[in-house]
């Protein structure tokens, strides 16, 4: 079986799983966008993915995202899902359709200044560490709530919602409370926004727990290993 055939099979299974999770949650399947994470994928695999109609691609490293943006043309839309250092902001802003991982006020202020300088208003998600794990990046919910008015006053940041990463566990049901906590927190912030921000997007759920994420309100799910499962480096 070719790499394209393996990827097509995996995508079909993923799409069916997304549809089933949406049905269980009483949501239309079109309310969830798959972000195909290509961090560890070979370029030929990514080309096959795009040829199969998947144009929303996620990368964790700014340099690789920018390089692949030059290598892949057409309708590809890039999502920066990994931690962004402030000295990489100027590299990310012109390329990323959506930055999922804005994890501090310092980074947000840097993006605001850089976006103003180039006349852009990039789409942003605020990463929230709802699990409280020291190993994870993200705003502390109390910190984000405290500075919410300052964030509302930003002029060059199109804040579209929140993102989180649940703890890595074998049973996806253990991730569910963290996804629910993010959704509730998003609703609280939206209620405090005086109509200035609607925060429609929730980026939560990866290969091992995306179905629970969808059932708890995810609009964006970030999958990598499930898409390329069954491939080995060197497969063409």
Q: Tell me: the pLDDT tens digits for 184-194?
A: 999 999 999 99
Q: Which domain holds residue 216?
A: 3-223
pLDDT tens by residue, 31-73: 999 999 999 999 999 999 999 999 999 999 999 999 999 999 7
Task: Tell me how many domains the chain contains.
Answer: 1
Does residue 235 form part of some domain? no
Does residue 236 form part of some domain? no
Does residue 228 form part of some domain? no
> CA neighbours within 13 Å on the CB side: how many for 225?
6
**56 exposed, middle or buried (CB, 10 Å; 0-12, 13-18, 19+)?**
middle
Does residue 230 form part of some domain? no
Q: What percent of the chain has pLDDT over 90?
A: 86
- Stated as kind and residue range, the H or E segment containing 123 is strand 123-127
pLDDT band, residue 100 (cuts 50/70/90): very high
Helix (H/G/I), strand (E/B), else coil: 137: coil
Which residues are within 8 A (CB) of 182 and not within 5 positions of it... i.e. 6 or more apart? 128, 130, 162, 164, 202, 204
Which CATH number goes with the domain that contains 83? 3.20.20.10
pLDDT of residue 235: 61
Does residue 110 form part of some domain? yes
**29 exposed, middle or buried (CB, 10 Å; 0-12, 13-18, 19+)?**
middle
pLDDT of residue 236: 55
Angle between helices 43-51 and 3-25 (to 10 degrees): 60
Does residue 233 form part of some domain? no
Does residue 214 form part of some domain? yes
Phi-psi region of 26 (alpha: psi -120 to 50; beta: other; left: phi over 0): left
Does residue 231 form part of some domain? no
pLDDT of residue 1: 86
Tokens standing for 99?
């930055």
């Amino acid at each position: 079986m070719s790499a394209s055939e393996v990827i097509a099979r995996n995508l079909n299974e993923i799409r069916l799983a997304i549809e089933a999770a949406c049905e269980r949650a009483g949501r239309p399947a079109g309310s969830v966008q798959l972000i195909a994470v290509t961090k560890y994928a070979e370029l030929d695999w990514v080309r096959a993915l795009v040829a199969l109609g998947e144009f929303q691609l996620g990368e964790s490293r700014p340099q690789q995202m920018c390089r692949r943006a030059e290598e892949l043309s057409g309708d590809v839309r890039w999502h920066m899902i990994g931690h962004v250092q402030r000295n990489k902001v100027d590299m990310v802003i012109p390329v990323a359709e959506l930055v999922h991982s804005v994890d501090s006020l310092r980074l947000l202020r840097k993006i605001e200044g850089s976006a103003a300088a180039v006349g852009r208003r990039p789409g942003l998600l605020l990463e929230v560490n709802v699990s409280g794990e020291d190993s994870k990046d993200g705003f502390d919910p109390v910190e984000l709530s405290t500075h919410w008015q300052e964030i509302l006053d930003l002029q060059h940041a199109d804040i579209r919602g929140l993102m989180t990463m649940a703890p890595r566990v074998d049973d996806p049901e253990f991730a569910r409370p963290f996804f629910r906590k993010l959704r509730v927190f998003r609703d609280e912030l939206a209620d405090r926004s005086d109509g200035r921000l609607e925060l429609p997007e929730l980026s939560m759920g990866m290969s091992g727990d995306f179905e629970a994420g969808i059932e708890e309100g995810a609009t964006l799910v970030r999958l990598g290993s499930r898409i390329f499962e069954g491939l080995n480096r060197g497969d063409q």
